């Protein structure tokens, strides 16, 4: 079999600026050892996020020129709406400026004190919006999903027994909705099976609970179903996607992920009354219903991107390119969450940097090492991001200390990824040379964005 190649040619390029190891030591110090405070120009390979970092296609750029910037009733809106209608089967489509704006609107309407939002795993902005509405978010991830070393096909699945007993215990009236995150971002980009979606849907129907899909990576999830679930081998990704959405009452989406757009999002729903309520909020916070916080050109780019992402040559390359990184790491027995997911590789920093105690942030130490040795920027997902303080000021750690290397769509080539794995392997070989960190400055909310550190 031949190498699975990038299914695109490059028409326009951006330079990468190189720095020396000595320069990077200085840059990191000036950034107070927080990767979010490093200037993008000072990064060689930027794996901070796959959000809004995709390379758009020539068709999307052509769409940018075609964008109709009319305030009301723009042609671009109708093209966008048509595509979303077609994929989701949902008649009402509400554009927003990004995923969290969709979440803010939905949970302002459906959240609220005393209510619960149940999920396989709520993404952090989703959870923040649920909690901001004073509802409670509850993650009911299947058991396999909680074991980082276990190889299983659908580690993003919801625990349906836990779902049933939760609804029985609290009563269906207290459940705002069930939201399935596809793929499960916080859980390593792990997919959810069609069988699980179907079962969750039938429980929701039985109790009259709404089912929403956080559709940010619906195409990557659909492709995993095609690869891994019996009965879907010969179905097309669009057919699989349509089936996924057929089980849901609505969805929220960030177009910065599986729509190859640099900004944008939407809500799609079946219910007309809910649409009314969403649009009432939309005009206050986002904009008129036919643009919702976006320019006409953005709506065009999203409409085109949503079609492109379902191209199976693209998805084959996409999923394979992430798996490829995993295989290279396996050569050195480097610990990461298995199997690799759809959009990122999650290094297991607790095992990688097993000489650094959790309260000295092994994930941050790994991020720093990757930056110093190779100019690679990843993000810590562990005690810096999710750690809480006990009454006595001591750290309460989350269960895992991870470093996420998120792969932007259509941006880097195989040789970039070879370079990344070489640097990770080098850092792994000399891992005992790296020290832990302490916090010197800590903001009250979302501290990982602006906190400052120093080596211990």
Ligand X SMILES: *Cc1c(COP(=O)(O)O)cnc(C)c1O
CB of 192 to ligand X, least distance (A): 12
Asked if residue 185 binds ligand X (CB under 6 A), the reply is: yes
Nearer to ligand X, 27 or 101 (CB): 101
Interatomic CA distance for residues 352 and 58, integer angstroms: 41
- Minimum distance from CB of 183 to ligand X (Å)? 8
Contacts of ligand X in 116-155 (CB under 6 A): 123, 125-126
Give the residue with the Cβ less far from ligand X, 127 or 350: 127
Q: Work out whether 181 is an interface residue with ligand X (CB under 6 A).
A: yes
CA distance 107 to 93: 17
Site string for ligand X, 97-116 (x = CB under 6 A): -xxx----------------
Q: Pick out residues in 207-246 that bind ligand X (CB under 6 A).
A: 214, 216
Quick check: 88 binds ligand X (CB under 6 A)?
A: no
Q: Which is nearer to ligand X, 180 or 194 (CB)?
A: 180
Distances (CA, A) of 409 to 111, 213, 256, 257: 33, 22, 10, 8
Which residues have a Cβ under 8 Å from the Cβ of 218 and sit 6 or more positions away?
A: 87, 182, 241, 244, 245, 251, 253, 258
Beta carbon of residue 163, minimum distance to ligand X (angstroms, whole number): 19
Of the pair 154, 437, the CB lying nearest ligand X is at: 154
Report the residue from 254, 321, 340, 368 that binds ligand X according to the rule CB under 6 A: 254
Shortest spacing between CB 263 and ligand X, in angstroms: 8
Contact string (CB under 6 A) for ligand X, positions 265-294, x = contact? x-----------------------------
Indicate the residue among 123 and 434 with the shorter CB distance to ligand X.
Answer: 123
- The piece of 96-104, 192-200, 201-209, 362-370 that touches ligand X (CB under 6 A) is 96-104
Query: What's the first-to-final CA gap in the chain, in angstroms?
Result: 49
b/e burial code for range 368-389 (CB count within 10 A of at least 16 → b): bbbbbbbbbbbbbbbbbbbbee
Ranked by CB distance to ligand X, the top (closest) residue is: 99
Contact pick of 127, 226, 257, 318 for ligand X (by CB under 6 A): 257
Question: Which residue number, 294 or 439, has a Cβ lying nearer to ligand X?
Answer: 294
Residue nearer to ligand X on the CB measure, 120 or 193: 120
CB of 182 vs ligand X, minimal distance in Å: 8
Q: Taking the complex as a whole, how short is the minimal distance between the CB of residue 189 and ligand X, in angstroms?
A: 9
Q: Please report, for residues 148, 267, 432, 433, the alpha-carbon distance to residue 356 in angstroms, rounded to integers and kept in the order given.
A: 19, 43, 9, 11
The burial of 66, by beta-carbon neighbours within 10 Å (0-12 exposed, 13-18 middle, 19 or more buried), is given as middle
Q: Which of residues 33-62 bind ligand X (CB under 6 A)?
A: 51
| DSSP 8-state code for residue 156 | T
Cβ 422 to ligand X, closest distance in Å?
A: 28
Number of residues that bind ligand X (CB under 6 A): 15
Alpha-carbon separation of residue 358 from 180, 266, 362, 399 (angstroms):
30, 38, 6, 10
CB-based contacts of 64-67 (< 8 A; 24+ apart in sequence): 64/297, 64/300, 64/301, 65/297, 66/297, 66/300, 67/295, 67/296, 67/297, 67/298, 67/299, 67/300
Nearer to ligand X by Cβ, of 52 and 91: the residue is 52
**x-or-dash string of contact with ligand X, 338-377, rule CB under 6 A:** ----------------------------------------
Q: Least distance in Å: CB of 98 to ligand X?
A: 3
Distance CA 136, CA 126 (A): 11
Q: Which is nearer to ligand X, 216 or 367 (CB)?
A: 216
Q: Which is nearer to ligand X, 257 or 404 (CB)?
A: 257
Q: Residue 23 Cβ, how far from ligand X at the closest point, in Å?
A: 31
Structure tokens, 267 = 């809500």
| Of residues 79 and 257, the one with the C-beta less far from ligand X | 257
Peptide bond into 46 cis (omega under 30): no
Exposure class string for 166-186: b at 16+ Cβ within 10 A, else e: bbeebeeeebbbbbbbbbbbb
Smallest distance, ligand X to C-beta of residue 257, A: 6
For residue 85, is the peptide bond before it cis, meaning its omega torsion is within 30 degrees of 0?
no
Choose among 92, 117, 115: nearest CA to 103.
117
Selected range binding ligand X among 9-17, 221-229, 249-257, 287-295, rule: CB under 6 A: 249-257
Q: What is the side-by-side strand order in the sheet with 379-381? A: 344-348, 402-406, 379-381
**Taking Cα atoms as reference points, which of 99, 98, 199 lies closest to residue 140?**
199
Residues lying near ligand X in the complex (CB under 6 A): 51, 98-100, 123, 125-126, 181, 185, 214, 216, 254, 256-257, 265
């Amino acid at each position: 079999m031949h190498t699975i190649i990038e299914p695109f040619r490059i028409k326009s390029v951006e330079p990468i600026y190189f720095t020396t190891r000595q320069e990077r030591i200085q840059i990191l110090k000036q950034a107070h050892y927080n990767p979010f405070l490093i200037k993008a120009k000072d990064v060689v390979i930027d794996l901070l996020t796959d959000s809004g970092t995709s390379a758009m296609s020539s068709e999307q750029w052509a769409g940018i020129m075609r964008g109709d910037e009319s305030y009301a009733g723009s042609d671009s809106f109708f093209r966008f709406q048509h595509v979303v209608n077609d994929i989701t089967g949902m008649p009402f489509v509400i554009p927003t400026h990004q995923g969290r704006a969709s979440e803010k609107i939905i949970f302002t309407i459906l959240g609220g004190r005393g209510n619960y939002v149940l999920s396989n795993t709520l993404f952090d902005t989703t959870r923040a919006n649920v909690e901001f509405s004073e509802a409670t978010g509850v993650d009911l991830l299947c058991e396999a999903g909680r074991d980082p070393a276990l190889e299983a096909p659908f580690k993003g699945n919801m625990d349906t027994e836990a779902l049933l007993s939760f609804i029985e215990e609290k009563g269906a009236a207290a459940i705002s909705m069930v939201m399935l995150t596809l793929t499960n971002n916080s859980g390593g980009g792990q997919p959810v099976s069609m069988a699980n979606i179907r079962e969750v849907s039938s429980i929701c129907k039985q109790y009259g609970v709404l089912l929403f899909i956080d559709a940010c990576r619906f195409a990557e999830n659909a492709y995993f179903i095609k690869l891994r679930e019996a009965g879907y081998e010969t179905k097309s990704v669009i057919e699989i996607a349509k089936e996924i959405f057929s089980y849901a009452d609505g969805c929220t989406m960030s177009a910065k992920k599986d729509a190859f757009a640099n900004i944008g999002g939407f809500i799609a729903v079946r219910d007309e009354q809910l649409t009314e309520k969403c649009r009432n909020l939309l005009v206050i916070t986002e904009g008129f219903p036919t643009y919702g916080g976006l320019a006409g050109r953005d709506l065009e780019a999203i409409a085109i991107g949503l079609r492109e992402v379902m191209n199976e040559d693209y998805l084959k390359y996409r999923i394979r390119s992430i798996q490829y990184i995993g295989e290279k790491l396996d050569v050195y027995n480097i610990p990461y969450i298995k199997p690799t997911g759809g959009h990122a590789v999650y290094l297991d920093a607790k095992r990688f940097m097993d000489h650094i105690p959790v309260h000295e942030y092994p994930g941050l130490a790994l991020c720093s090492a990757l930056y110093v040795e190779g100019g690679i920027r990843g993000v810590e997902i562990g005690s810096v991001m999710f750690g809480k303080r006990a009454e006595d000021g001591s750290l309460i750690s989350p269960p895992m200390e991870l470093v996420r290397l998120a792969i932007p769509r259509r941006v880097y080539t195989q040789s970039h990824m070879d370079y990344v794995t070489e640097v990770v392997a080098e850092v792994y070989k000399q891992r005992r040379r790296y020290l832990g960190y302490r916090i010197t400055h800590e903001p009250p909310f979302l501290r990982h964005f602006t906190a400052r550190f120093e080596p211990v």
